[in-house]
A and B are shown apart, each in its own frame.
Chain A
């Protein structure tokens, strides 16, 4: 029984709940998804069939999922956090054994109608579990070493599995969002200082390990880092992604070449133009203005989430909302940094815009949690 259960009387019931949805957030998500449809249409050379149609179907399905999750009280979701976490952990283990290898990584299980990426699911369930943990944990124990070890294990075990797939991008995202929730929960800042310095040490160790027997990351990951640091050393090979991406982006200029006028993506100079690198098409066709507009839309989603998180009096709701906002932020921040040549190419999609099934569905479900927290917040 949580605090919310006492105040359940004051939360809306039945279909009235729909009125209490955070409608600006829904609108923002739909707008961002529409930007995605527009870009997928352009990238396909003015064709709905290859990408827009499936993406649209998935978005509508996602809206349904979001609504479904939103209508179920937030305390139910808090109570099933552990189960959800364990479930996605089991799936993560499953891909180890019978997952499909794609793009040099074991990432998905084909479940018939779509390819399920358990690592996507894990991003949300980890946030849920940590929020539930800190909701349960008395405040005074938050910074005690033993009670810190627990969430650290919750974060690191799935992260290790994802890293083994290997999916460096998602493992970084998992660690960052998990750490973010711990930070929000009030863990003493000294721990973070320690972890960050340890991280720097680890990076140094990774580079030290290169070429030795105990090499910590794969050669292709090293190469990606190399080409990130100096794309020009291999412009047609590994550096091709970054170089071409920057060319497409930069050639957009202030206002872009115009819708469907982007030459670089249409002529296939851009790799993965409809997935991870879709932002370059947007930036080429709509220029700086278009890029900043999308960035603003994204930030508005974050701002609404932060506001909702601060407004709600329920600790689980606050932590989940903030955690999901952080995950969402990490998605687009890493993706944009990557295409702008600020980060190595780690294979993180642009949320709600890139073509891809499970990422969008999981995100919509996550925003369902945010909506549920909003509907069922104590009033």
Chain B
């Protein structure tokens, strides 16, 4: 028999008590849960909402269009060409291999690209909605074929990107430079890099103008806010803010002239600079041999890169601003100006040149072993008499020469937006003490007087020097003509404060070099009236002549190995009465300046003055048939190069 325990032994009271206790505990726990909910949802709501947005919203960057680069006449030097890419979304494609097979019937697919795509697909197996690139840099015709057959190719889509291209190919490679993908090293060099730089396909200027004007050309990246789910799939676009394209830039260069000069330098290891005397505009600034910058944009192959780096002519170096050479005899005008301005010589004073000069117990030779006899200033330039300048330099002293060199722009870094612009060197006593901890000796002065020894100048500095001699003003090189449509300040410069008579004498000497019989540049003169040129040859030694060599007599340059031959230099300006362009040419290991550099300088100067192919009657009669053949050859070469350039762009 069962009883009702609750009524009989008071267990009901125990149960009620304990039930209420347990119920109370449950209520208290629920209260605790509510408090926790309040803490999370009210007190900390802002923080969690922020975290939720971070979860949900991803920013995507929109690459800005890079600014384009034009020459002074509006010819395009660097542009953005549409580049087509074929992507596949594995999820939409279904049978990926079948789609790829169908696609390869339409267009040629690179097997390496396909292998890479397959690997990427395997890695992305969890995110089959991510597009994977099957082929990059596809021609428009191929893209059209794919577009037309789109219904038969599920999951295939095409994408347009912008690819930098340089239609002038190798003729502007050193000036404009090239762009390439951002490397870890690039990032480490930039303080607080913009996020767009970390995008995989983004490219920045690597060398030359592209690198130096990166800040202006790049523009500002836009942003796109998208909502993503936990797997990273983009669900929808929330907002979009377009970036700003980079500013277009116009250079002072004349692309036609530049192309001509590049062709004229040919396969020599040489450089040439053409500067506008009136405003400092660099009309051409060439270094030879050159390379095709487009190779770098697309990712240069190891083999191609090795060819470029192992070439003894150093095609990657921009010799016109990076290369520094002993200026040789082209420096003599500076020494003459230093002496004239110091009032140490008169224009009629003569020096006896027996072919050498004893200074401080050492014999310094003139290039002309037989000697020049009595030479005055004009004669010293015309015949490039070394002894005259040895004598002059000892009188003037190195410090005055060095100061004068700097006033002419040697040993001074000209600030133009190109990579590794060299400052050259105009040494003085203080410099030698500081760098070599040695006293300056008079022999050093003698060497410096003919642009040897420590004296170093880049081809661009020599062009600037010539322009300054031609105008008497501190002409400063200018590379950017206008930035985003705004004209940049001129480089005309203020007067250097020289006595006009002194300048006239020196210019007259340079005129004699190119226009008088027995002038060292006479063979390569201009005969057209009104555009006569004034120039100066230079030959700078690369080696020290050993005692044994001296004993054996003069060794002809042609007998030496290439890398030990002299550098050939020539500086000039024209027209003589009203200077428009100054030109400098340096042919590395070219031998004599009059033979290797002067013809190039003359041709370049004429090309610049006529703004195109000059008439044959501007040349001396004896040269005309040769020049005509040369003009025809170069015209043909340039035409072929241009065709190749527009093809690839």
* A residues neighboring B (CB under 8 Å): 1-3, 135-136, 138-140, 142, 180, 183-186, 244, 246-254, 263-264, 267-269, 283, 287-288, 291-292, 295, 298-299, 302-303, 306, 309-310, 313-315, 318-319, 322, 326, 329, 333, 336-337, 340-342
Contacts and interface: CB of A to CB of B under 8 A. Distances in A.
A250 B49 CA distance: 7
B9 A306 contact: no
B338 to A, nearest CB: 74
Contact of A315 (B6, B18, B40): B6
Q: Counting chain B CB atoms within 10 Å of each CB, which of A247, A254, A310 scores highest?
A: A247
A342 B51 CA distance: 20
B45 A310 contact: no
A322 B19 contact: yes
Nearest to B227: A267
B36 A326 contact: no
Contacts of B189: none
Q: Is chain A's interface secondary structure helix, strand, loop, or mixed overall?
A: helix
A186 B48 contact: no
A22 B52 CA distance: 43
Contact of A253 (B3, B20, B42): B42
A86 B119 CA distance: 57
A340 B19 contact: no
A283 B11 contact: no
Given A249-B48, A269-B55, A288 B229 contact: no
Closest 10 CB pairs between A and B?
A250-B48, A251-B52, A3-B4, A267-B229, A253-B45, A306-B23, A268-B230, A288-B41, A251-B49, A186-B14
Contacts of B228: 267
B42 A306 contact: no
B312 interface: no
B7 A313 contact: yes
Given A250-B49, A267-B230, A303-B23, A295 B40 contact: no
Interface of B: 1-9, 11-12, 14-16, 18-20, 22-23, 26-27, 29-30, 33-34, 36-38, 40-42, 44-45, 47-49, 51-52, 55-56, 227-231, 235
Contacts of B30: 295, 298-299, 333
A184 B22 contact: yes
Given A292-B37, A310-B16, 12 more contacts: A138-B5, A184-B15, A186-B18, A252-B45, A264-B56, A267-B55, A267-B230, A268-B231, A302-B26, A306-B20, A310-B20, A318-B15
B9 A140 contact: yes
6 contacts: A3-B2, A246-B48, A248-B52, A249-B37, A283-B37, A340-B33
A288 B52 contact: no
Contacts of B227: 263, 267
Contacts of B9: 139-140
Contacts of A250: 40-41, 44-45, 47-49, 51-52
Contacts of B36: 340, 342
Given A303-B23, A315-B15, A251 B51 contact: yes
B41 A299 contact: no
Nearest to A183: B18
Contacts of B4: 3, 313-315
B230 to A, nearest CB: 4
A2 B45 contact: no
B33 A252 contact: no
Nearest to A250: B48
Contacts of A247: 48, 51-52, 55
Given A264-B55, A306-B19, A309-B19, A337 B33 contact: yes
B55 A302 contact: no
Contact of B2 (A2, A252, A268, A302): A2
Contact of B45 (A142, A185, A251, A268): A251
A34 to B, nearest CB: 20
A333 B29 contact: yes
A139 B52 CA distance: 56
B54 to A, nearest CB: 9
Contacts of B5: 135, 138-139, 315
Q: Counting chain A CB atoms within 10 Å of each CB, which of B14, B230, B231 scores highest?
A: B230
Contact of A329 (B1, B20, B26, B34): B26
Contacts of A292: 34, 37
Nearest to A303: B23
Given A247-B48, A263-B52, A269-B230, A180 B15 contact: no
